[in-house]
Amino acid sequence: MTMAERALRGTRLGATSYENDRNTDLAPRQEVDYTCTKGHRFTVTLAAEAEVPITWECRNCGATALRVDGELPQTKKGKPPRTHWDMLMERRTLEDLEEVLAERLEILRAGRKKSA
């Protein structure tokens, strides 16, 4: 039996890493603290050059957590949604619409007279 076979005996392949951090240089890191609305506080380790997000999902409850030294992002004021009426009024005046309505009503009334 070779030495490699003895080293693997009694272990599940892939279950345990036999590597260690000796003689390796780890990338520079930073630790960022977050607190969620329910009071859970946790730390996330990120690369030193990474852009740090303002919010992060809480590890305990899944709520949105805010960076301890951060401020809430400003909500942008958006335009109110345009309705069909708004778009119609951009193309027509009330007088135009009254004329179109009168024409359509006349066509409908003429159709009813023929069928009666």
The pTM is what?
0.45
Structure token pair of residue 110:
């003429």
Instruction: Quote the CA–CA distance of 7 and 76 in Å, as a whole number.
Output: 60
Q: Is the pLDDT of residue 34 over 90?
A: yes
Give the N- to C-terminal CA distance of the chain in Å, as an integer: 104
Q: Across the strands, what pairs with 32? A: 44
Q: Is the pLDDT of residue 8 over 60?
A: no
Pairing state between β 64-67 and 55-57: antiparallel
Annotated binding-site ranges for Zn(2+):
36, 40, 58, 61
Q: Is the pLDDT of residue 74 over 90?
A: no
Annotated binding-site ranges:
36, 40, 58, 61
The half-sphere exposure of 7 on its side-chain side, counting CA atoms within 13 A, is 6
